[in-house]
Copies of this chain bind each other. A is one copy, B any other.
């Protein structure tokens, strides 16, 4: 659908001007790219990035990790023999995303099934091994985010540090969760943000991130949405009485409408085997992936609690509050979008 024309007759209010000024000041003062620097950093070096809420890729950080040295299809199956894992199942590879149900946008969660690790690996690798060009009707992704390295993937824990020493010292804590992610290029994580300082470590394959700063919450049209879930057949079932707040509705890979998206400055970065992305708290990210030679894409991430003290969190909430008012003024084309999804 072509974008509806911007409502040119509406004059820009002072709140809009202030929001525009915020974005242009921020963009003038900050990098338009994600730097790559040799790691591991010292705690002090790492805290400089945390302090500035600036993403960075550390190279060399994973040297000597068992996961980087040993993980491949055969090794993983050996270690995980007899283990079941939780698998997110969706029709389109779209876990946690906005889907239209009877013409109304819903926040839709994947169906979760438990299955033997080996059969999950057979499924994931078949796309690569058989080089089939059409995605299957059901897409699977091992993406449980509840500290699964200490649970269903406990057999792999000896191959990874339980926490990252430089981050422990800088952030004065240990990770809230360490998670293993295994999938293939059929799965994509829709744009979202987390209340965590995230260290994302690529083991096999490649991930591609689109990143937007917390201030660009202005541009991503956050919505409050009713909640639904896929069932095992890929049909959507609405969860009555449930809703999510502040879920970004923009897809940075699709042509977009609305004056605010045009002011955003998305950054793109590819994360390769052995590299670690520091994804600062509250940054919006969309993540797509590509399997490597082993036929899988595999990563591990460390989630550290973000710091709610200081002015950062309060001010980000404030900016989003201000943006809500401007969204309301844009209501006209919101309506059209609803009907077209």
User: A48's contact among B15, B29, B54, B172, by CB below 8 Å, is which?
Assistant: B172
Restricting to A29-84, which residues have a CB under 8 Å from any CB of B? 29-30, 43-44, 47-48, 50-54
Stretch at the interface among A96-104, A105-113, A133-141, A316-324: A316-324
Which residues of B have CB within 8 Å of A325? 14-15, 18
- A218: shortest Cβ distance to chain B, in Å? 10
Q: How many residues of A contact B (CB 8 A)?
A: 41
Q: Measured between alpha carbons, how far is A21 from B53 in the docked complex, in Å?
A: 23
User: A43's contact among B44, B53, B172, by CB below 8 Å, is which?
Assistant: B44
Copies of this chain held together in the complex: 2
User: A29's contact among B21, B169, B215, B309, by CB below 8 Å, is which?
Assistant: B309
Residue A25 CB within 8 A of the other chain: yes
**18 contacting pairs across A/B (C-beta < 8 A):** A15-B15, A18-B318, A18-B321, A18-B322, A18-B325, A19-B318, A21-B317, A22-B318, A26-B314, A29-B308, A44-B47, A44-B170, A47-B47, A51-B307, A51-B310, A215-B311, A311-B316, A318-B319
Closest 3 CB pairs of A and B: A52-B310, A26-B314, A22-B318
